[in-house]
């Protein structure tokens, strides 16, 4: 299942970078849900390229249109399809990229997987551009979670290259919502400046940088998810690694848990009024694969954008010989800030699916 996923809420994405259009089908959406398309547009604008000097120059409005599944402003319950036309597909010469494999990209693996028949132009179906329909679907799910379930999801950039933001990520709706209004979603202002400096520096060097995103999901009740093969961690990680460039994920204290003893890492339970909470949240809101009612918390690592203009060593797969490659054209020196809304939306798809599985298909 390469392009379809989900249990009760299923999505199917399609499209290639230089084809006619890209899009997504969502199956299993409850009927009767009010959808505010401007909410989705705002999220998509956060990912859209060409906004400023820290992103690629490719200019795509990423304007979607609803093909099916919404009637009189509400979901019909039938499959919802949204399409985004490809507009700015420069008819440049891709013949070099057909035979010289870009390091760090899927050119070579795609070539082997599809025996050379893949559409190599602009990365084809492997293009980061395919995250636009994923973001559409995710933003729609995020909106449903907020309006019908009071569940809020938000991510911040916690690190770019070697610059970390040591400001804590406050577990509040306000903090999460504030991040959405920032063009560069970092909490600490100084860190934000330094991170952007690193990106610009990388751009000047013809190089690129990556970083770490930190995500919070607020107000998911206890009892969602499954033990073993459909643990919340399994489901979320499965989805996160579907986003190109994600190479690591940790829940709660993650790798840092190895530095703790059980007496430190175990989150003690306590009563908060009539509600059971934990006084720490090292587990990131998940125990035994199931939510415990505390905020779900995870961090993902995004690798540096593989498209750089520096000369790189590679192979010519037609002649099966060593060669060098200098990738030209429009590239992002960093994609983390553009990936942030995609991460949020992808998480929302998983959470909404978990809810539909536990609560059934009717949401009001």
Nearest to 297 by CA among 236, 225, 227: 236
Minimum gap (Å) between residue 177 Cβ and a second copy: 26
Minimum gap (Å) between residue 226 Cβ and a second copy: 3
> Looking at beta carbons only, is 178 or 290 nearer to a second copy?
290
Per CB under 8 A, the list member of 57, 116, 150, 329 interacting with a second copy is: 116
- Degrees (nearest 5) of the Cα angle 301, 290, 224? 105
> Looking at beta carbons only, is 174 or 337 nearer to a second copy?
337
Subset of 11-70 contacting a second copy (CB under 8 A): 12-16, 19-23, 25, 27-28, 31-32, 65-69
d(CA 233, CA 251): 7
Nearest to 44 by CA among 143, 168, 173, 186: 143
- Degrees (nearest 5) of the Cα angle 228, 234, 236? 145
Tell me, by CB under 8 A, how many residues bind a second copy.
Answer: 153
- Residue 202 near a second copy by CB under 8 A: yes
> Looking at beta carbons only, is 112 or 177 nearer to a second copy?
112
Minimum gap (Å) between residue 297 Cβ and a second copy: 11
Subset of 94-113 contacting a second copy (CB under 8 A): 101, 103-106, 108-110, 112-113
Per CB under 8 A, the list member of 147, 167, 219, 312 interacting with a second copy is: 312
Nearest to 235 by CA among 58, 76, 9, 18: 9
> Looking at beta carbons only, is 36 or 177 nearer to a second copy?
36
Per CB under 8 A, the list member of 199, 212, 339, 352 interacting with a second copy is: 212
Per CB under 8 A, the list member of 96, 119, 171, 173 interacting with a second copy is: 119
Minimum gap (Å) between residue 65 Cβ and a second copy: 7
Helix (H) or strand (E) holding 107: helix 107-113
- Degrees (nearest 5) of the Cα angle 63, 68, 72? 95
Say if CB 135 and CB 349 are below 8 A apart: no
Minimum gap (Å) between residue 153 Cβ and a second copy: 19
DSSP state of 30: P
d(CA 210, CA 338): 12
Subset of 239-278 contacting a second copy (CB under 8 A): 239, 241-242, 244, 246-255, 257-271, 274, 276, 278
Subset of 217-236 contacting a second copy (CB under 8 A): 222-231, 233-235
Report the chain's terminal Cα–Cα distance, integer Å. Answer: 31
- Residue 93 near a second copy by CB under 8 A: no
d(CA 179, CA 183): 8
Nearest to 94 by CA among 17, 207, 23: 17
- Give the phi and the psi of residue 332 in degrees, each rounded to 5: -85, 125
Subset of 132-191 contacting a second copy (CB under 8 A): 134, 159-162
DSSP state of 305: P
> Looking at beta carbons only, is 183 or 310 nearer to a second copy?
310
Choose one: 43-51, 117-125, 141-149, 189-197; the region binding a second copy (CB under 8 A).
117-125
Say if CB 324 and CB 342 are below 8 A apart: no
Q: What dihedral do alpha carbons 164, 170, 172, 177 form, nearest 10°?
A: -30
- Residue 322 near a second copy by CB under 8 A: yes
Subset of 344-363 contacting a second copy (CB under 8 A): 357-362
Choose one: 46-54, 87-95, 189-197, 319-327; the region binding a second copy (CB under 8 A).
319-327
């Amino acid at each position: 299942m390469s392009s379809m996923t989900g249990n009760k809420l299923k999505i199917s994405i399609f499209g290639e970078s230089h084809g006619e259009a890209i899009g997504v089908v969502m199956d299993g959406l409850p009927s009767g849900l009010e959808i505010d398309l401007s909410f989705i547009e705002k999220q998509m604008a956060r990912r859209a390229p060409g906004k400023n000097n820290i992103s690629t120059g490719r200019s795509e409005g990423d304007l979607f249109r609803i093909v099916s599944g919404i009637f009189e402003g509400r979901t019909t319950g039938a499959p919802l399809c949204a399409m985004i036309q490809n507009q700015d597909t420069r008819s440049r010469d891709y013949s070099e990229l057909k035979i010289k494999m870009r390091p760090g990209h899927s050119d070579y693996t795609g070539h082997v997987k599809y025996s050379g028949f893949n559409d190599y132009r602009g990365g084809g179906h492997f293009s980061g551009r395919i995250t636009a329909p994923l973001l559409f679907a995710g933003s729609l799910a995020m909106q449903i979670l907020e309006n019908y379930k009071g569940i809020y999801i938000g991510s911040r950039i916690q690190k770019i290259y070697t610059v970390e933001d040591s400001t804590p990520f406050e577990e509040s709706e306000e903090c999460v919502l504030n991040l959405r209004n920032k063009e560069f979603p970092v909490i600490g202002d100084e860190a934000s400046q330094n991170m952007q400096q690193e990106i610009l520096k990388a751009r000047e060097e013809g190089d690129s940088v990556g970083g770490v995103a930190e995500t919070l999901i607020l107000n998911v009740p206890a009892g969602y998810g499954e033990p073993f093969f459909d643990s919340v961690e399994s489901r979320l990680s499965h989805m996160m690694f579907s986003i190109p460039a994600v190479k690591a994920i940790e829940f709660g204290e993650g790798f840092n848990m190895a530095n703790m003893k059980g007496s430190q890492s175990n989150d003690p339970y306590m009563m908060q009024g009539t509600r059971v909470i934990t006084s720490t949240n090292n587990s990131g809101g998940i125990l035994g694969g199931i939510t415990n009612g505390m905020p779900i918390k995870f961090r993902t690592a995004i690798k540096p954008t593989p498209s750089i203009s520096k000369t790189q060593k590679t192979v010519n797969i037609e002649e099966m010989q060593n060669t060098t490659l200098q990738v030209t054209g429009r590239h992002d020196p960093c994609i983390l800030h553009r990936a942030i809304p995609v991460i949020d939306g992808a998480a929302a798809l998983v959470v909404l699916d978990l809810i539909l599985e536990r609560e059934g298909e009717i949401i009001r």
